[in-house]
Amino acid sequence: MNRFIKDTKKYWKYTIYAAKSQLKTEVANSYLNWIWWILEPFCFMLIYAFVFGFIFKHKELYYNAYIFVGLAIWDFFNRCIKSSVRMVKRNKAIVSKVYLPKHTLIISDMMVNGFKMLICLAIVVGMLIFYRVPVDLHIIYVIPILITTILFTFGCCCILLHLGVFIEDMSNVINIVLRFVFYLTGIFYNIRSFPEPYRSLILKGNPLALLITDLRDCVLYQTKPDVLWLCIWLGISLLLSMFGIWNIYKNENTYVKVI
Amino acid sequence: MEEYAITVKDLKIRYKSVQAYSIKKSLLRLKGVDTEAFEAVRGISFEVKQGEILGITGKNGSGKSTLLRALANIFSADEGTIDLHGHSVSLLAIGVGFKNEMTGRENIMLSGMLLGFSEKEVQARMDEIIDFAGLGKFIDMPVRTYSSGMYSKLAFSITAILETDIMLIDEVLSVGDEKFKKKSYAKMKSLISQRNRTVVIVSHNLKTLEELCDRVMWMHEGEIVKIGEPKEILKEYKEFMK
- Quote the percentage of chain B above a pLDDT of 90: 0
Closest chain A CA to residue B21 = A167
Which residues lie closer than 8 Å to A45 by C-beta, 6 or more apart? A64, A67, A68, A71
B18 in reach of chain A (CB within 8 A): yes
**Residue whose C-alpha is closest to residue B122's, from B131, B112, B130:** B112
Write down the CATH superfamily of domain B4-241: P-loop containing nucleotide triphosphate hydrolases (3.40.50.300)
Q: Are A69 and A220 in contact (CB under 8 A)?
A: yes
Q: What is the pTM of this model?
A: 0.84
Strand order in the sheet with B79-83: B37-49, B4-16, B79-83
Phi then psi for residue B18, to 5 deg, are: -105, 10
CB-side neighbour CA atoms (13 Å) of B26: 13
**Looking at chain A from residue 61 to 80, which residues have their Cβ under 8 Å from any Cβ of chain B?**
none
- Quote the percentage of chain B above a pLDDT of 70: 85
Q: What value, to the nearest 5°, has the Cα angle with vertex A46 and ends A41 and A52?
A: 120
* Chain B residues near residue A259 by CB distance under 8 angstroms: 20
Q: Are B64 and B202 in contact (CB under 8 A)?
A: yes
A256 in reach of chain B (CB within 8 A): yes
Phi then psi for residue B94, to 5 deg, are: -65, 120
Q: E-strand spans in A136-177?
A: none
What is the interface pTM, i.e. ipTM, of the complex? Answer: 0.75
- Output the CA torsion sign for A17, A19, A21, A27: negative
Distance of CA A230 to the CA centre of its chain: 16
Low-confidence ranges of chain A (pLDDT < 50): none
* Chain B residues near residue A24 by CB distance under 8 angstroms: 106
A21 in reach of chain B (CB within 8 A): yes
Among A19-28, A108-117, B182-191, B217-226, name the one with the lowest average pLDDT: B182-191
A89 compared with B191, residue with greater pLDDT: A89
**What pLDDT, on the 0 to 100 scale, is given for residue B34?**
52
Give the model's confidence band at B14: pLDDT under 50 very low, under 70 low, under 90 confident, else very high: confident
**What pLDDT, on the 0 to 100 scale, is given for residue B227?**
86
Mean pLDDT for the stretch of residues B86-95: 70
Residue B128 distance to chain A (closest CA, Å): 21
Residue A177 distance to chain B (closest CA, Å): 15
Task: Select the residue of A17, A97, A173 nearest B97 (Cβ to Cβ).
Answer: A97
**Coil vs helix vs strand at B229:** coil
**What pLDDT, on the 0 to 100 scale, is given for residue B76?**
76
